[in-house]
Structure 1
Amino acid sequence: MKIALLSYSTKPRGGVVHTLALAEALAAAGEDVTVWSLGRGGDPGFFREVNPDVRVRIVPFPDGPEGETVGERILRSIATLREAFDPSPYDIVHAQDCISANAAGRCIRTVHHLDHFTTPELAACHERAIVEPFAHICVSRSVADELAAGWDLKAEVIPNGVAYERFAATDTAARTAWRTRLGRYVLTVGGIEPRKGSLDLLEAYALLRTGHPGVRLVIAGGETLFDYRAYRTRWETRASELGVEPVVLGPVPDDELPALVAAADAFAFPSLKEGFGLAAMEALAAGVPLIVRDLPVLHEVFEPAARFGATPETLAHELGQALTQNDPTRQTAGRELAARHTWDTAAQRHVDFYRSLN
């Protein structure tokens, strides 16, 4: 089959990581795969090298005019990708987000998670990208159930894979380098934004420090299409009020990320909305204690390997437990869970689903 996978960005977001890993696994299974994406800000390629068996088509997407709103950027993104993409050579057109689904026309859509937007253009993009595709995939049963309840749509459930060996077998010297630089730390990946529960994690960290004053909060990642400057300002103001100084690394080079994860004392994943939690699964592969938001989807994906907290107080308590209690049962369960989620399996299930549609 000739397969086109479409993404809205070249930056290291979870959906983009998913797209590239799926493309490479599909190509390894013998499929003819091309990944299409917008190259934001002059990006000529993705955040990491892509296996040469996968064709890559980057559509230039320069920065917009000063004062461009989020809504205007969304519409320009859709129009730019739509103008460049020709679906006719492909047997399968598979969009991974609402922007690429709006641009692709008739397509399969993976719904990674469902959001509620207030920006009119983004809300309309989100809705069209659910109702117009002719077939749907979700990365968890919980999201598929949301899709069924809200839109009466049936989705195939195909969980993410995880690059298990990449995170399970990290270089000792690289881990030591992060420990030397940061000391003991709780890590979160995904930047500072509302969906990631960043303010709640900040409050939890302030509570945690009363019993663990030497532990730092480290935040990696943060590339996004949206403008979260107002939320970031609120976060910084609250950090100052609480008297805490988290370490904000921003985007971390892809080859340095596994060691950063593996060197952490705990991994915090307090997202308010998720479809799977790929970064959290990578932490389990590395053997790092995992604390996640008490959400049905995260129980589905991470039980019994994670600890769960619903509020800053319970998140802080569970983080403290993870820092003080050696829990080999959970660690083993986490490694085994991550090892079961292979990209080869995910790719084969995608191929089976694609063929079932013909």
Structure 2
Amino acid sequence: MKIALLSYSTKPRGGVVHTLALAEALAAAGQDVTVWTLGRGGDAGFFRPVDPAVRLRIVPFPDGPPEETVGERILRSIAVLGRAFEPFAAAYDIVHAQDCISANAVGGRCVRTVHHIDHFTTPELAACHERAIVEPYAHICVSAAVATELADGWGIEAEVIPNGVAYDRFATTEPAARANWRARLGRYVLTVGGIEPRKGSLDLLEAYALLRCAHPDVRLVIAGGETLFDYRDYRARWEARAAELRVEPVVLGEVAEDELPPLVAAASAFAFPSVKEGFGLAAMEALAAGVPLVVRDLPVLREVFDSAARFATTHQDLAAELGAALTYDAPARRTRGRRLAARHTWATAAERHLTFYGSRLKDTSRTPLREAVPAEGAR
């Protein structure tokens, strides 16, 4: 089967991590797989090496003018990726879009994975989000909770195929690498995903201020965070509130691929207070590393993590549960977490995708792409 997987970035965001891991698992199963994406800011490759069995088509996407808005950048992203992909579209048996930008770029001819459902107020983004849900001819969700949202909101039936997790990569980190992070940071609570509204960053900051009353030696460490959206106002609010609370979290930004597993494994607890998620891949990686996990009490995270995590609703709850995790986390809970993470393999995810692709080939639409501006070439 000839498969195109489309993403929107080369950076280590959850959907991009998912795309590459799925592509490699599909290629390992004997499929002909190409990943298409945009190379923003001169990127000519992904954030990590990709198995050479997977073909890469990275479409150059130069920075726009300083006055370009988020909405304009999104529309330009759609146009550039769509125009680059159009001459090759008919060569693929399956075109699978992993986000709303790539789904808009290829129109109704694609299978779409809906990782989570956003609610935008910017008109361009709201329209793109809606088209990316209603136009694809088939849908996959990474959890039943998101599939239920899709059914309730749009009457769309989606196949549920959970994420895989690179279990061995996080479960078997080198002791020296973990020790290096501990020597640098001391005892710390980690979160991965950056500072943004969807990640519940302000709530985590408030929780950390409370947590320090009982655990003054514990630091809050924040890794990751590359995104297309402009969260400067939110980041400014976050920084102002940190100053008011007199706390100084460590903001690492993007962490090198080989440094992330020991950073996770060396944490004393992992916080995942997102207000909207589809699965929680970073949190599942923490379970693979044997790190106590505290998550927001959302239906999707109850579904995915069940008794392997602690749950919190308010920032006061979050502080209390993190404190409990730091004080004593039952070995049985850690064992459940490791077993849960080990069950989520990319090989299984690939097998289920192939079954789904085969069942939907007859429905493939050859609807032409919408008008787009000329692409600037593909690598």
TM-score range, shorter chain: over 0.9
Cα distance in structure 2, aligned partners of 1:93 and 1:278: 23
* Residues 204-262 of structure 1: CA deviation (Å, up to 9, x unaligned): 00000000000000000010000000000000000000000000000000110000000
1:166 is matched by which residue type in structure 2? Answer: R
Q: Distance in 2 between matches of 1:210 and 1:326?
A: 19
C-alpha distance in structure 2 between counterparts of 1:146 and 1:103, whole Å:
24
What letter is aligned with 1:44?
A
Query: Which blocks of at least 5 consecutive residues in structure 1 are unaligned?
Result: none
2:303 is matched with which residue: 300, 303, 327?
300
Corresponding residue number in structure 2 for 1:194: 197
CA contact (8 A) 2:292 2:329 kept: no
Contact 2:2 2:92 in 1 (8 A): yes
Give 1:35-74 correspondences, 5 Å limit: 35-74=35-74
The partner residue of 2:118 within 115, 126, 135 is 115
Over the residues paired in the alignment, what is the CA RMSD in angstroms? Answer: 0.4
Hey, what does 1:356 align to over in structure 2?
359
CA shift digits 1:143-170 (9 cap, x unpaired): 0000000000000000000000000000
The secondary structure found in structure 2 opposite 1:231 is helix
Tell which has more relative contact order, 1 or 2 (C-alpha 8 A, sep 6+): 2
- What amino acid is aligned across from residue 144 of structure 1 in structure 2? A
Q: Deviations over 1:38-62 (max 9, x none)?
A: 0011100100000000000000001
Contact kept in structure 1, 2:271 and 2:294, CA below 8 Å: yes
Q: Which amino acid aligns with 1:186?
A: V
- After superposition, residues 163-202 of structure 1 pair within 5 angstroms as 163-202=166-205
CA shift at 1:280, angstroms? 0.2
Matches within 5 A, 1:22-171: 22-85=22-85, 86-105=88-107, 106-171=109-174
> SS where residue 258 of structure 2 aligns?
helix
Match of 1:19 in 2: 19
Shift of 1:124: 0.6
Name the structure 1 match of 2:289: 286
CA drift of 1:104 comes to: 1.2
3-state SS of paired residue (1:319): helix
Q: 1:110 aligns to what SS in structure 2?
A: strand
Give the C-alpha shift of residue 66 in structure 1: 1.0
- The alignment-based identity, stated in percent, is 80
The 1-side partners of 2:134 and 2:191 are apart by 33
Code of the residue aligned with 1:96 in structure 2: it is: Q
SS at match of 2:113: strand
Q: Structure 1: which amino acid aligns with 2:214?
A: G
**Structure 2 residues without counterparts, runs of 5 or longer:** 362-379
Counterpart Cα distance in 1 of 2:328 and 2:156: 44
Aligned residue pairs: how many? 358
Q: Tell me, in whole angstroms, the C-alpha distance in 2 between the residues paired with 1:40 and 1:147.
A: 30
Per the alignment, in what secondary structure is the counterpart of residue 109 of structure 1?
A: strand
Distance 1:326 1:26 in 2: 37
How far off is 1:119 after superposition?
A: 1.0
Structure 2 counterpart of 1:211, which letter?
Answer: A
Q: Within 5 Å, give how 1:252-263 maps onto structure 2.
A: 252-263=255-266
Q: Which aligned segments of 4 or more residues in structure 1 are displaced greater than 2 angstroms?
A: none
Cα distance in 1 for residues equivalent to 2:183 and 2:34: 41
The match for 2:226 among 198, 223, 227 is 223
Measure how far apart 1:326 and its partner are.
3.4
Question: For 1:291, what is the secondary structure of its paired residue?
Answer: strand
SS of corresponding position for 2:90 = coil
What TM-score results when the alignment is normalised by the length of structure 1?
1.00
